[in-house]
A and B are shown apart, each in its own frame.
Chain A
Amino acid sequence: MATKSRVNDFVIRIATVNGTGSASANALLMKAIFRMGVPVLGKNYFPSNIQGLPTWYEIRVTEDGYLARSGLTDIVVAMNAQTYEEDLAELTPGGAFIYDSTWPRKELHQRSDIQVLPIPLSRMCNEAFVGSRARILMKNIAYVGAIVALLDLDMDVVHGLLRETFGDKHDLIDSNARAIELGHDYAVSHFECPLDFRVEARKPVTERIMIDGNTAAALGCVYAGATVGSWYPITPSTSLLDAFSNFCKRLRKDSRTGKSNYCIIQAEDELAAIGTALGASWNGARAFTATSGPGLSLMSEFLGLAYFTEIPLVLFDVQRAGPSTGMPTRTQQADILSAAYASHGDTKQVLLFPADPKECFSLTIEAFDLADRLQTPVILLSDLDIGMNDWPCEKLTWDDDYRPDYGKIRRAEELEGMEMFHRYVDYDGDGICYRTLPGVHSKGSYLVRGSGHNQYGGYTEKDDEYREVVDRLRKKFRTAASLVPKPVIDTYERPHGAIISIGSCDGAVRETRDRLEKEGLRLDYMRIRAFPFDVNVTDFLSKYSRIFVVEQNRDAQLRSLLLTEITEGSEKLVPILYYGGRPLSSLDIIERIRTQLREDKAA
């Protein structure tokens, strides 16, 4: 492995201290590779902290365009002495270890299976720049310069990015370019450049963008016509409302008056955040809120109210590692069950599972349509990995002929001709009733109540009247199963089994399937995109004698949901779980699948 040339297929891990400006250096590096036409993936591991704690940025260069961590580390840039030992241990044999040798460390030279590249970054930057802040920032840019030389990156691309970033701030362009040069020249004169790991420019087949899921979801809210966004700050969902706010300032100001065609309310807590969205939605605006696990727990009472009173609502749960406060800056898919049955009593919620930022955009549009069509909350279960990391995606597209589906609303003209409006009568037999908007017509008035109500909306404590309503809600949920996004299914001829997964597991699952296929093990694949499960999910489950359910939580929540709702084949569904908080890699799952398949073959 050490001698094999690794063009466009390796992982760089950069260890820094948070609050030192390394994020912009890392973004510059990743973008440079991306601009050279090579698929690249960035994952940020940051602490729940403002300044001074270890943070890592991992860049995977992947010719094959895989969308997951590889689980290996080929190059380490160690800029944080606190984590030298850990970073050294992380390096895969054959890798390269770059560190700031202003203060040389003998112990870093103990591994014979790697290459150590000491660069006196601090000393060079202290000599070249004035002021402690500039010296710290430029030290980060200088390692980018060294990597440019070591990986044979295109220097013109790097300079182009500096010009784009700093615009007419020529002094910043100059100082950054100087720092790049320092790192570059040192590497060229002291090491054999490029390394075995290196980047070769490619001409990409499709035009791609780098985008994070929260930004894409926020853009989805703008395009779906949402006007009210209410929220309470919580990692990792905060950037969704930040992005919505920025897009609205740019795209939602009235051209004549300059006034805002939107309203963003930073609520006092998550209860108020969802209450505000619900109030706006009741009143006919498309409204949403965004949160993460702890917020979902707080919102559950209102989710029950919205379910029972049948008010549309879009809720983004950008999942993080729980339970409780858990690990706020680490990713997981552990809210599946609490979201599916959020709130007391017999409640069931509609869930959508985007797999990447592009789907965060498209499923957001669907979420608003479904919420209006079904008159119920729709929860988009994203996660920190999708929400906050930059992913390479195909460009987002928009069809100008799209019109929103506002669902069954009795407008003023219809109400005028009606003798009497009844809120919860199932006229169409699909479990979905007609609603009215406040203030539209005197005949449309009714009282929304979370207490027991009959099909006319009146208060009731009568057995049969109550059951009529909750039975219809069950029927509506069955209708929902036929309307939600279908699963994505990939099949082989003569498969050995199958994988079921959701959301951000997709990249790692696809890579696993490719690798197993090369070993002669063929696994069909279904990525579930929504709950309730539609007939395709049920059919898929019945087809195989061995199914691996890959998900990122300890308790196999997706598997439990499948077994609860479909009640078939608990012994054939093998849970494949990873819940350590890092984005899933194929290494986390492949061995367990392989072993099980071999046992199955032997049996």
Chain B
Amino acid sequence: MSFIKKPRIIHPESRPNSIGLSINDYEGAMSTLCAGCGHDSVSAGIMQAFFELDIAPHNVAKLSGIGCSSKTPTYFLRGAHGFNSVHGRMPSIATGANAANGELHYIGVSGDGDSLSIGLGQLCHAIRRNVNMLYVIENNGVYGLTKGQFSASADVGSTAKRGEANHLRPIDPILTAIDIGGSFVARGFSGDKDNLVPLIKAGIMHRGFALIDVISPCVTFNDHEGSTKSYLHTRQASHAAIYADYIPVRDEITAVLDKGANVVPLHDGGQVQFRQVDDKYDPTDRSKAAGYIRECQERSEIVTGLLYIDDDAPDLHMLSDTSETPLRDLEFKTLNPGAKALEEIQNAWS
């Protein structure tokens, strides 16, 4: 942990993106998390994704709840508007913010405590409403700030640092999201940035609620032998079901389609290319995807990749049929019916 003001160092070989910003423009304050924390890798992945997508930081709203993971919005995109809210309630803030103005990019960062215990209800309902946002769960199986209690994502039999085992069945955000109508469901690993960054990019560009569950080990409280959320265990037990990449519209012509790759077009004009490891896997088939993930889970395997996608599902604004102009930008004279209308309305009450 550090109170040092982060020095601004521009790497001589760093190149600007198409809007003239360098990767440094996507940084935030110095992280105060433990050295080696998986969350810092996720923050780095988020910076890289926004940089590569040429999105100006101030067009991004970054939101979080409470916990180690929820501190991270301070550590990336200092130029973005941020909202560090209360424990487990970030999804509702994001829902309202999105209702008021659908034109920003919304990213929520949460943890397994914030999302799967205190905030499980809000997470589920934001998924149901298909709020257009990227929602990253930095999942480490423990409560860090309060010194290592099990969270609701801890696997049965996984042991805490002091040795006691968890006996409660875990809540899997991936299966939950697929079950209740999630339109973009993915799992990544903070130790595998190559596969994580494309997922983040695809999640940002997806229209609707994009959930990425990122296994992000807690080096202080849950990285020991016996933990199923450690770096070692995750590396050994995880495998990708699918390799996915986001191809923006400008690169589509030049992008080389991977041999055997499939394509899902997105509503922004770009597309997601993906290649499944297992031929039987189909990330556009909700029940098959759920079945496959459950089978892997029963074999104690952690399956990663873009596990389910439906870019056609209507999002919050389509479901509410809201105006093209963001509600917050509508002029008062458009919103106010005026004195004459008030007179007419009251005729029914006289």
Contacts and interface: CB of A to CB of B under 8 A. Distances in A.
Chains A and B belong together in one complex: yes
Contact of A285 (B84, B321, B328): B328
Interface residues of B, number: 60
Nearest to B92: A275
Given A268-B125, A282-B83, A447-B73, A225 B96 contact: no
Contacts of B330: 227, 261
Nearest to B342: A398
Interface stretch (B53-61, B146-154, B238-246, B295-303): B53-61
B233 interface: no
B78 interface: yes
Interface string B81-122: 111111001011111111111011000000000000000011
A222 B97 CA distance: 19
A276 B83 contact: no
B349 A228 contact: no
Contacts, number: 213
Interface residues of A, number: 71
A596 to B, nearest CB: 40
A251 B337 contact: yes
Contacts of A398: 338-339, 342
Interface string A513-539: 000000000000000000000000000
Nearest to A390: B349
Interface in B295-350: 316-317, 320-324, 327-330, 332, 334-339, 341-343, 345-346, 349-350
A260 B321 CA distance: 6
Contacts of A279: 83, 92-100
Interface string A239-262: 000000001000110100101111
Nearest to A459: B74
Interface string B220-259: 0000000000000000000000000000000000000000
B80 interface: yes
A68 B96 CA distance: 39
Interface in B20-62: 56-59, 61
A273 B337 CA distance: 26
Interface stretch (A107-115, A448-456, A477-485, A498-506): A448-456
B349 A211 contact: yes
A301 B79 CA distance: 28
A570 interface: no
Contact of A263 (B61, B92, B99): B99
Contact of B100 (A257, A283, A395): A283
A269 interface: yes
Nearest to B334: A261
Given A262-B327, A450-B85, A278 B338 contact: no
Contacts of B96: 228, 230, 265, 275-283, 287
Given A275-B85, A276-B95, A447-B82, A437 B328 contact: yes
A448 B95 contact: no
Interface stretch (A46-54, A329-337, A438-446): A438-446
Contacts of A459: 74
Interface of A: 207-211, 219, 222-223, 225, 227-228, 230, 247, 251-252, 254, 257, 259-265, 267-269, 271-285, 287, 301-302, 305, 395-400, 402-404, 436-442, 444-451, 459
14 contacts: A222-B335, A228-B100, A261-B327, A263-B317, A263-B320, A278-B92, A285-B99, A395-B350, A402-B336, A403-B332, A439-B103, A442-B79, A445-B79, A448-B84
Given A403-B332, A448-B82, 18 more contacts: A251-B337, A259-B322, A262-B322, A263-B320, A271-B89, A275-B89, A275-B93, A276-B99, A278-B96, A279-B83, A279-B100, A281-B100, A437-B328, A438-B81, A439-B61, A439-B101, A439-B103, A451-B84
The 4 closest A-B CB pairs, nearest first, are A279-B96, A275-B92, A447-B82, A285-B100
